[in-house]
Structure 1
Amino acid sequence: MTSGAPASRPVSAVLFDRDGTLVVDVPYNGDPEKVRLLPGAREAADLLRAQGIATGVVSNQSGIGRGLLREHDVIRVNRRADELLGALGAWVFCPHTPQDRCPCRKPRPGLVVEAARRLGVRPEECVVIGDIRADVLAARAAGARGVLVPNAATLRSEVDAERWTAPDVLTAVRTVLQAPGEVS
């Protein structure tokens, strides 16, 4: 831990972004057969479950608001991902477009707050792991901590703007478990 860092807060739940963090990002995917886990995703979920830490997913799904998907399609894709990941505790998604300016769409805090509520924890006890800065900003807006796991689609400016990043989701989870105070 760096000098002057705040005391470690407990981690009661880890919330993941879905596309690009847990599963391969297939834009506006409504087909459960196209769901493919990213390397380390199942292991990360298993590790958290073994430690008794609640898990959930917070995901923007603007394809619903754009008329490209139905809510039922997203739920079917989420169920397939859940099967592959081994059952996560809460799945919360925002169906709105960016133009709707709703309170749930990341980077706003609504998804994180709702997932924490469903899991029975305070947002301050959550860590959000995602592949774009909106994930980390949503965490901060809710009082949670965030970890950026960049991929090929992540903007370099987003990586440069974040204090805490990890090369992959499994490394992010291991670090959260080993040194929760390092995650801001």
Structure 2
Amino acid sequence: MSRAGVLLDRDGTIIIDRGYVGSVDRVEFIPGAIAAIAALNEAGIPVAVVTNQAGVARGYYGIEDVHLVHKHIDEELARRGARIDLWLFCPYHADGVVQAFARASADRKPGPGMGLAAAQALDLDLSASWVVGDSATDIGLAKSVGARPLYVGPPNSADPTVASFPDLAAAVEHILASRNDPVEESGVDRPVGRSRFPAYRFDRADEYGGAYVSELSRAFGTVDLAQVARAADILVDAYQRDAAVFACGNGGSASIANHLQCDHVKGVRNGTDLTTRVFSLSTNVELLSAIANDLGYDQVFEYQLQSMARPGDVLIAVSSSGRSPNIVRALDWAGANGMRTIALTGFEGGPARAMATATVHVDSTNYGIVEDTHQACMHLLAQYVRQSRMTADAVASQTF
């Protein structure tokens, strides 16, 4: 099972920040820092260092110099019975002068990259973990990955919404005292168990783009592939039986339902013996508006199913929140009338998550991320069905 860990900034948290510390002779430990790390080790809490090293991009020192500094720190820690379990650093900066490193990166704090990498390498539950640092970028990292931020340094520089401590030693005392306490000590309003994205304002589109891609990758990783397989089995069975498949959604999810009809009719048929019957309940504005006007918008999908669906058919309901009344009513009617159901959900999942025969759930609180993942899952289901009805040679020779 995933565990809580501590992500530490380097300069200003473990060692004195002298500005671009790129050589061993400039390393000076902050009093109490080594003992604090040893205390975390003793408690069995994984420790990772996540540090921006723009000095590489700016040409002040090289990658090897960073490694030498970290090797020196490791040696000094070992002499005192302490250790760092994982070193992560970002050498990139958009304004760098060294071409290989002169670019934006989602790894650069406050971007989430290094936090997500630490979680994967050390099997961390970020919602139960801490990020400790002396700057707004460290607090931003914590918020971007859903961890608990702790500030160390002068009180006049502290964020009033974040717990503040004079140094790492005091922060670690707090961590050890509160590590089994589920109450948020930072005062930051964040969803438990998932990251908030974006958690801070970006000034550059390329930096936002890198962070967005990282969050999309993280969110896609939360999808239960066993549920995807279950959804695929439902669709293959329906198509083989010549059963009808209906899709529905609101807003951006409506466009996914409409696109699903295209890919699961035209796309699936390419190179196969399938002639699928797939219908989007979100596409006929005349019918939608008539039902909504006369009966209420919460019936726009259920009413169509009552007329067109039969036992053995399938309903695919796409809803980021899983709470839309018309989605819930459609799933309820379908389940009560012999239909198998697939739900694509996000956020907490809402009632739809529990109602469906198979649920492809995306653990994210960003509508764009959820919808992008739903769109990808819609595509992969269509392509899986298509290739499952083709020979190996045909799969290798055709474009998907």
User: What TM-score, normalized by structure 1, do the two folds share?
Assistant: 0.85
In structure 1, distance between residues paired with 2:159 and 2:8: 21
In the TM superposition, what is the alpha-carbon distance from 1:66 to its structure 2 partner?
A: 0.8
In the comparison of the two structures, how many residue pairs are matched?
A: 171
- Larger displacement relative to structure 2 (54-63 or 142-151): 142-151
Instruction: Give the residue type in structure 2 aligned to 1:55.
Output: V
- Name 2:178's counterpart in structure 1: 179
Does residue 91 of structure 1 match 2:87?
yes
User: Is 1:176–1:183's contact at 8 Å kept on the other side of the alignment?
Assistant: no
RCO higher in 1 or 2 (8 Å CA, sep ≥ 6)?
Answer: 1
User: Is 1:23–1:81's contact at 8 Å kept on the other side of the alignment?
Assistant: no
Instruction: Give the residue type in structure 2 aligned to 1:177.
Output: L
User: Is 2:8–2:131's contact at 8 Å kept on the other side of the alignment?
Assistant: yes
The one of 133, 136, 139 aligned to 2:136: 133
User: Is 1:24–1:35's contact at 8 Å kept on the other side of the alignment?
Assistant: yes
In structure 2, distance between residues paired with 1:48 and 1:178: 11
User: Is 1:11–1:127's contact at 8 Å kept on the other side of the alignment?
Assistant: no
Q: Secondary structure at the match of 2:164?
A: coil
- Name 1:52's counterpart in structure 2: 44
User: Is 1:116–1:126's contact at 8 Å kept on the other side of the alignment?
Assistant: no
Does residue 26 of structure 1 match 2:10?
no
- Residues 102-121 of structure 1: matches in 2 within 5 Å? 102-121=105-124
In the TM superposition, what is the alpha-carbon distance from 1:98 to its structure 2 partner?
A: 5.0
Q: Secondary structure at the match of 1:165?
A: strand
Instruction: Give the residue type in structure 2 aligned to 1:108.
Output: G
In the TM superposition, what is the alpha-carbon distance from 1:27 to its structure 2 partner?
A: 1.8
In structure 2, distance between residues paired with 1:22 and 1:90: 14
In the TM superposition, what is the alpha-carbon distance from 1:123 to its structure 2 partner?
A: 2.1
Instruction: Give the residue type in structure 1 aligned to 2:90.
Output: C
In structure 2, distance between residues paired with 1:145 and 1:162: 11
In the TM superposition, what is the alpha-carbon distance from 1:147 to its structure 2 partner?
A: 0.3
In the TM superposition, what is the alpha-carbon distance from 1:26 to its structure 2 partner?
A: 2.4
Q: Rg: which structure is higher?
A: 2
Does residue 82 of structure 1 match 2:74?
yes
In the TM superposition, what is the alpha-carbon distance from 1:11 to its structure 2 partner?
A: 6.4
Partner deviation per Cα, 1:111-152 (whole Å, 9 max, x = no partner): 11112222121322320100011101101101111101024x
- Larger displacement relative to structure 2 (32-41 or 45-54): 32-41
Q: Secondary structure at the match of 1:21?
A: coil
In the TM superposition, what is the alpha-carbon distance from 1:79 to its structure 2 partner?
A: 1.3
Q: Secondary structure at the match of 2:124?
A: coil
More helix by share: 2
In the TM superposition, what is the alpha-carbon distance from 1:74 to its structure 2 partner?
A: 0.5
User: Is 2:152–2:165's contact at 8 Å kept on the other side of the alignment?
Assistant: yes
Q: Secondary structure at the match of 2:50?
A: strand
The one of 117, 124, 129 aligned to 2:127: 124
Cα distance change, pair 160–182 in 1 and its aligned pair in 2 (3 A): same
- Name 2:271's counterpart in structure 1: none
Instruction: Give the residue type in structure 2 aligned to 1:183.
Output: E
In the TM superposition, what is the alpha-carbon distance from 1:182 to its structure 2 partner?
A: 4.6
Q: Secondary structure at the match of 2:170?
A: helix
Cα distance change, pair 130–97 in 1 and its aligned pair in 2 (3 A): same
In structure 2, distance between residues paired with 1:183 and 1:41: 22
User: Is 2:22–2:55's contact at 8 Å kept on the other side of the alignment?
Assistant: no
In the TM superposition, what is the alpha-carbon distance from 1:101 to its structure 2 partner?
A: 2.9
Q: Secondary structure at the match of 2:13?
A: coil
Instruction: Give the residue type in structure 1 aligned to 2:176.
Output: L
Cα distance change, pair 11–133 in 1 and its aligned pair in 2 (3 A): farther
- Larger displacement relative to structure 2 (79-88 or 62-71): 79-88
Gaps of 5+ in 1: 1-9
